[in-house]
Amino acid sequence: MTRQNFNNTFLQACRGESTPYVPVWYMRQAGRYQPEYREIRKRYSFFEMSENPEVCAEVTRLPVEQLGVDAAILFADIMTPLKPIGVRVDIQSGVGPVISNPIQNFADVERLGSLTPEQDVPFILETIRLLTTEQLNVPLIGFAGAPFTLASYMIEGGPSKNYHKTKGLMYAQPKVWQALMDKLGDLTIAYLIAQAKAGAHAVQIFDSWVGTLNAADYRTYVAPVMHRIFSKIKESVDVPVIYFGIGAGHLLQEWNQLPCDVIGLDWRTSIHQARKLGITKALQGNLDPSLLLAPWDIIEERAREILDQGLETPGYIFNLGHGTFPELEVETLQRLTRFIHQYTQK
């Protein structure tokens, strides 16, 4: 792919620059709402799929070709780098990640290994190389789960509604918590720097569940490790870093002080509200994914409202407020992508 054909709008927006139109991609844009994905998924388990670079690259490319989005996101899971450090994790259909050796004490944290990406996740780096050297004409986003969100699965043993065990360990055994944050911090740094060096053009850190903490606890128990992660990445590689969480509107001012480039909003906080709170970084978001089940005129009206707010300040990327889900129609996302491009074209 020659540089002339390369679509740079997403990276320009990440850097806070104005763009010829608003770039768009969708969280979980590769997934079970796509018939082609369902076909491929029948033949492999989730990890078989994501550990096979050819298949993984194909699944990553699919939404770019099908929807016309302005960025690709590596097909993997936030659990992928945990397997090599000794976390016994399985992705169960209809449940999500399930872990059979949850963390309970200091010895459990001590037993975790460290991640050497070239040795432990070569398939991830190979997928990135395949995609970025020949297959894609849009930027590739690498990603990782943030320490709090990874820890929540590692401590609960799977998805949770209230995070009692996670927060219980954090409050009751702060030294164990700190040791776990340190290890997961090191892992995230090594993993994302390796992805950027392999060719990923930007990275997103998913802190999906950190909104369960109040701002004071976030500052005490999580902000230091996030500060270290963002600083190390920025020191080592020149890629924009996006930070995303769900139900984290009350943490945005904390986030604005961290050395990341873009903040991903869920649907609860509007772009106007974020700007009123003093958020100065580039923003990404935030159509409620459930709205995609509504009739088109309602989708269009809501997308227009979001775009009008996003267009007020350079550095805006359209996305959903959280991931796609199996009941969506491919056509809806195709139409939405076309609408965003047409409506915002200068």
Q: Is 3 a catalytic residue?
A: no
Selected catalytic residue, list 28, 268, 302, 335: 28
Compute the CA torsion angle 338, 33, 320, 337 (nearest 10 deg).
0
By CB under 6 A, name the one of 32, 83, 219, 302 that touches ligand 1CP: 32
3-state secondary structure the chain: CCHHHCCCHHHHHHCCCCCCCCCECCCCCCCCCCHHHHHHHHHCCHHHHHCCHHHHHHHHHHHHHHHCCCCEECCCCCCHHHHHHCCCEEEECCCEEEECCCCCCHHHHHHCCCCCHHHHCHHHHHHHHHHHHHHCCCCEEEEEECHHHHHHHHHHCCCCCCCHHHHHHHHHCHHHHHHHHHHHHHHHHHHHHHHHHHCCCEEEEECCCHHHCCHHHHHHHCHHHHHHHHHHHHHHCCCCEEEECCCCHHHHHHHHCCCCCEEECCCCCCHHHHHHCCCCCEEEEEECHHHHHCCHHHHHHHHHHHHHHHCCCCCEEEEECCCCCCCCCHHHHHHHHHHHHHHHCC
Residue 322 annotated as lining a ligand binding site? yes
Q: Is 28 a catalytic residue?
A: yes
By CB under 6 A, name the one of 56, 78, 103, 320 that touches ligand 1CP: 78
By CB under 6 A, name the one of 51, 58, 70, 77 that touches ligand 1CP: 77
Query: Should residue 206 be labelled a site residue for ligand 1CP when binding is judged by CB under 6 A?
Result: yes
By CB under 6 A, name the one of 11, 13, 14, 46 that touches ligand 1CP: 46
Query: Should residue 97 be labelled a site residue for ligand 1CP when binding is judged by CB under 6 A?
Result: yes
Nearer to ligand 1CP, 57 or 309 (CB): 57
Selected catalytic residue, list 77, 120, 207, 261: 77
Instruction: Return the residue nearest ligand 1CP (CB atom).
Output: 96
Query: Should residue 272 be labelled a site residue for ligand 1CP when binding is judged by CB under 6 A?
Result: no
By CB under 6 A, name the one of 11, 14, 41, 222 that touches ligand 1CP: 41
By CB under 6 A, name the one of 9, 12, 29, 286 that touches ligand 1CP: 29
Residues 321-340: x where in contact with ligand 1CP by CB under 6 A, - otherwise, as a string = --x-----------------
Query: Should residue 174 be labelled a site residue for ligand 1CP when binding is judged by CB under 6 A?
Result: no
Q: Is 88 a catalytic residue?
A: no
Query: Should residue 96 be labelled a site residue for ligand 1CP when binding is judged by CB under 6 A?
Result: yes
Nearer to ligand 1CP, 12 or 127 (CB): 127
Q: Is 153 a catalytic residue?
A: yes
Q: Which residues bind ligand 1CP (CB under 6 A)?
A: 27-32, 41, 46, 73, 75, 77-78, 91, 93, 96-97, 143, 159, 206, 208, 323
